[in-house]
């Protein structure tokens, strides 16, 4: 049932990754008036896909799993809408110079036709301003105001403000004001990730679709076109491990790429004839134990949600957004 006292409250949400989208859709369903701001051209954040003619590569989240009944229900709705499907890769593990088949048999899901499809689906009935990097927030006379790097002051004032962005970005927004929050993001050590995408004209002779790699620069490789609904060109995504990525996050892209491809070659993925692109994720992974899965300061009407407050990963991000919305509605 909608709480009548908050029906007309306005909410500004910064960030339209899965946490922001989840919070926005839930709040809108509860009767709040929601407007979201996103610095990129589209929604979905780290659940992202790069594509070109005949190829695509998920270069952020690779797949998602679901344990919580609410998230399982949400995934079923996505599957019904055609924006997600189960993925059954031939999955290997590399450890101590040995390959073995993975014995992990949990369900894995991906967005279809791309990892950002569930995000686009959630965004379709929301008011979102893209290409808006919010670089200043402030509160006056009980209302929140925000400023966009690209367009200046935003006219609309909000009753509530929600930061659905990674911890370091939220910290810099909040510390540019006097609004500190208890137990806030200072303890979160988010790590980067270097991601290489390799496009082949011929299928490499590799006996698996995806592999977890231990004790190497690379931690994960996967054949993107083994996922349901993908473009057909043979395309592999390679993630460097979080510690190596973080240590070398400022490397020149070409140099980072050559280290990663050298390691790929050692693992049997020869990319000499492939077309290569590389992406630097500054804030890929990391989480704190926040207890509740979100932060809300009811007096200031300021909230935070995101994967980093709820165990990391896609499922945690979605649940964090739902939990924050429900807490605001009390």
Ligand X SMILES: Cc1cc2nc3c(=O)[nH]c(=O)nc-3n(C[C@H](O)[C@H](O)[C@H](O)COP(=O)(O)OP(=O)(O)OC[C@H]3O[C@@H](n4cnc5c(N)ncnc54)[C@H](O)[C@@H]3O)c2cc1C
Place of tokens 């609309």: 156
The number of residues in the chain equals: 330
Nearest-10 Cα torsion for 241, 120, 8, 300: 10
Q: Which is nearer to ligand X, 62 or 225 (CB)?
A: 62
Q: Which is nearer to ligand X, 41 or 53 (CB)?
A: 41
Q: Which is nearer to ligand X, 6 or 93 (CB)?
A: 93
Give the DSSP per-residue string, 7-25.
TT-EEEEE--SHHHHHHHH
Instruction: Find, among 227, 237, 242, the residue nearest to 191 by Cα.
Output: 242
Interface with ligand X (CB under 6 A), residue from 211, 221, 317, 325: 317
Give the DSSP per-residue string, 169-202.
HHHHHHHTTT---TT-GGG---EEEEEEEEE-SS
Under rule CB under 6 A, residue 40 binds ligand X: yes
Under rule CB under 6 A, residue 281 binds ligand X: yes
Residue 323's DSSP bridge partners are none
| Helix (H) or strand (E) run with residue 128 in it | strand 128-129
Under rule CB under 6 A, residue 134 binds ligand X: yes
Q: What is the largest CA-CA distance in the chain?
A: 65
Q: Which of residues 192-211 bind ligand X (CB under 6 A)?
A: 193, 195
Q: Which of residues 211-270 bind ligand X (CB under 6 A)?
A: 239
Under rule CB under 6 A, residue 133 binds ligand X: yes
Distance from the first to the final alpha carbon of the chain: 11
For the CB of residue 161, give the shortest distance to ligand X in the complex, in Å.
12
Interface with ligand X (CB under 6 A), residue from 12, 13, 16, 224: 16
Q: Which is nearer to ligand X, 110 or 271 (CB)?
A: 110
Q: Which is nearer to ligand X, 18 or 271 (CB)?
A: 18
For the CB of residue 69, give the shortest distance to ligand X in the complex, in Å.
17
Dihedral sign (CA 62, 69, 27, 86) = positive
Interface with ligand X (CB under 6 A), residue from 114, 167, 185, 314: 314
Q: Which residues sit at the interface with ligand X, rule CB under 6 A?
A: 14-20, 37-40, 45-47, 60-64, 133-134, 164-166, 169, 193, 195, 239, 281, 284, 306-307, 312-314, 317
């Amino acid at each position: 049932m909608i709480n009548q006292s908050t029906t007309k409250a306005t909410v500004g949400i910064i960030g339209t990754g899965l946490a922001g989208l989840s919070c926005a859709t839930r709040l809108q369903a509860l009767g709040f008036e929601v407007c979201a701001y996103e610095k990129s051209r589209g929604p979905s954040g780290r659940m992202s896909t790069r594509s070109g003619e005949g190829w695509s590569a998920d270069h952020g989240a690779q797949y998602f799993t679901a344990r919580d009944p609410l998230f399982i229900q949400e995934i079923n709705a996505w599957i019904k809408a055609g924006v997600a499907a189960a993925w059954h890769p031939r999955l290997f593990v590399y450890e101590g110079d040995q390959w073995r088949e993975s014995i992990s048999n949990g369900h894995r899901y991906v967005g279809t036709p791309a990892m950002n499809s569930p995000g686009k689906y959630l965004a379709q009935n929301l008011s979102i301003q893209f290409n808006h990097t919010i670089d200043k927030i402030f509160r006056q006379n009980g209302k929140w105001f925000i400023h966009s790097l690209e367009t200046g002051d935003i006219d609309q004032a909000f009753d509530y403000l929600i930061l659905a962005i990674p911890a370091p970005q939220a910290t810099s927004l909040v510390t540019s004001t006097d609004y500190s929050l208890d137990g806030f993001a200072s303890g979160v050590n988010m790590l980067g990730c270097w991601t290489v995408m390799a496009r082949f004209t011929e299928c490499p002779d590799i006996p698996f679709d995806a592999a977890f790699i231990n004790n190497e620069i690379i931690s994960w490789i996967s054949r993107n076109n083994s996922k349901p609904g993908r473009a057909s060109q043979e395309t592999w995504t390679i993630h460097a491990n979080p510690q190596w990525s973080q240590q070398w996050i400022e490397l020149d892209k070409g140099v980072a790429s050559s280290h990663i491809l050298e390691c790929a070659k050692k693992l049997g993925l020869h990319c000499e004839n492939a077309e290569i692109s590389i992406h630097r994720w500054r804030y890929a992974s990391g989480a704190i134990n926040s207890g509740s899965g979100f932060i809300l300061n009811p007096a200031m009407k300021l909230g935070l949600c995101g994967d980093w407050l709820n165990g990391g990963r896609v499922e945690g991000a979605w649940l964090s957004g739902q939990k924050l919305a429900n807490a605001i509605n009390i």
